[in-house]
Structure 1
Amino acid sequence: MYNIKNSRELASYINYVNLNNIITEEEMKEFLEKAKESTFNSVVVSPTYIPLAKEVLSDTDIKVGSVVGFPLGFEDTETKIAETTALIDKGVDELEVVINLSYLKDKKYDLIGKEIEEIKKVMGDKILKVNIEVKALDDAEKSAIVQVAQKAGADFIKTATGFVTPCHIYEIVNDINIIQKYAPKIKIEIYGGVDSYKIANQVLTAGADKIASNYGYEIVKRYKELRENTQVKPKPITLTKK
């Protein structure tokens, strides 16, 4: 199993997600205040709440991530580039871009690759994640798209938008294996099905670099309860001479 040293390290592997499209500003503030209690790698919020997230988290090292072409990915490249530029102007640190699945189904790899290249050019040194929605793909399609994404300069493959059925741990491991085999230089972020420390540990053990989860706060809190806040009172030992 993955050797997590403490809750701080665990949180650093997690991107804490809240893409609820009917959340109020007050509810988002509560989410962000909860995020401040842990050392998450990032929070992932809708474009609407990037300025608020930057403000609330300004005294932390937590990055602010958001989404482009979410959740279906069928916008044209020019629209995605415009979205990307606008979000960078708002101060976003990381972006995930949903690929055009129609292009993938038609094997229009050149169009997908060009889109990724152009978006990465706009982003510069900020982190670009390419979301491939694995539940919509067979293994051959997964192997093809991860090669395209790596060649085009994406930093991460992200496995899902959260709008489809979460993956079972065995499916997650299979996806990690495919990505590592066909795109060994790209990093892997798993989203979907990770709602406990046990699953998070299994996913990291399998080779994921980051975990995105709506349950990031609960995962870290439970880890603290089990590993850091447990107090055991030792029983006295009496030594008797023989």
Structure 2
Amino acid sequence: MTDGTQSRRAEALIARLDLTNLNDDCSEADVAALCGRAETPVGPIAAICIWPAFVGFARRELSARIKVATVVNFPLGADDIDATLAETHKAIADGADEIDLVVAYDRVAEDPGFVEAQVRTIRANCGHAKLKTILETGRLYDESTIRAACHAALAGGADFLKTSTGKVQVNATPASATILLEEIAKAGGTVGLKPAGGIRTFEDADGYLRLAETICGLDYPTPERFRLGVSGVLADLLAVATGTERPGGKAGY
């Protein structure tokens, strides 16, 4: 890959970032800093992903072209639908553009119908917002259960399949992303993909973009259909995009 090609792909990846802060100690000042990073020297990211408490603040801080995503039923994927509905209604009222729902992943193996109904209920209450379903693939353990989670989420009307919360030991992997993309392709290739957690370098991020291009087609991974849930990788992507020295060490979630 030439330097020019790398630069263009890094810019494309930046435009597909969900810049994320879901740290337990996140403050309004941290969210303000995240919003400040969202307009980069090579263009805006796609969205920021933050705790529900900061949605209203972030929406006021950001230009309309950058989406505000928030999480519900996070991170444990409980099965209390009323509590999740209340979180969702509040987030939408505060100005969320996208809802990242942790499905009841512990129920997938024995009761995928519950997960389908859970997704359908939240989708019906999202209004204009997109619904990204977090499957927590690192806790589903085998391919058949991951595929069952995909089927349930897709049948429930999910707009995106997202791998992970970033809060468990195993988050996004190329293997899990491949499964999600294969199920998206079987369903018509219109649902989005969001790998999240463990994406540390330009090479990591570009690998997921290439998977999406290979499995769902070169025209599939637009910013409306392909996102990366990460924050620490932005510095590396910017260095590649601008041809400057890349930072050492590892980028965080």
Q: TM-score, length-normalised on structure 1?
A: 0.84
Report sequence identity in percent: 23
Q: CA deviation at 1:182?
A: 5.2
Q: Deviations over 1:183-213 (max 9, x none)?
A: 4543211012211111111110001622111
The aligned residue for residue 66 of structure 2 is 62
Task: Check 1:115–1:193 CA distance in 2 against 1; reply closer, same or farther (3 A cut).
Answer: same
Q: 1-side partners of 2:114 and 2:173: how far apart?
A: 32
The aligned residue for residue 51 of structure 2 is 46
The one-letter code of the counterpart of 1:210 is: R
Q: CA deviation at 1:214?
A: 2.1
Q: 2-side partners of 1:111 and 1:126: how far apart?
A: 22
Q: 2-side partners of 1:127 and 1:12: how far apart?
A: 17
Q: 2-side partners of 1:131 and 1:60: how far apart?
A: 25
**Rg larger for:** 1
3-state DSSP of counterpart to 1:145: helix
The aligned residue for residue 202 of structure 2 is 197
The aligned residue for residue 242 of structure 2 is 225
Structure 2: gaps of 5 or more residues: 213-220, 246-253
Q: 2-side partners of 1:111 and 1:74: how far apart?
A: 12
Contact 1:35 1:217 in 2 (8 A): no
Task: Check 1:122–1:135 CA distance in 2 against 1; reply closer, same or farther (3 A cut).
Answer: same
2:158 to 154, 169, 188: 154
1:78 to 62, 82, 85: 82
CA RMSD of aligned residues (A): 2.4
2:105 to 89, 101, 104: 101
2:114 to 111, 116, 122: 111
The aligned residue for residue 142 of structure 1 is 146
Report how many residues are paired: 226
Q: TM-score, length-normalised on structure 2?
A: 0.80
Contact 1:147 1:182 in 2 (8 A): no
Task: Check 1:10–1:205 CA distance in 2 against 1; reply closer, same or farther (3 A cut).
Answer: same
The one-letter code of the counterpart of 2:207 is: Q
The aligned residue for residue 211 of structure 1 is 228
Contact 1:68 1:97 in 2 (8 A): yes
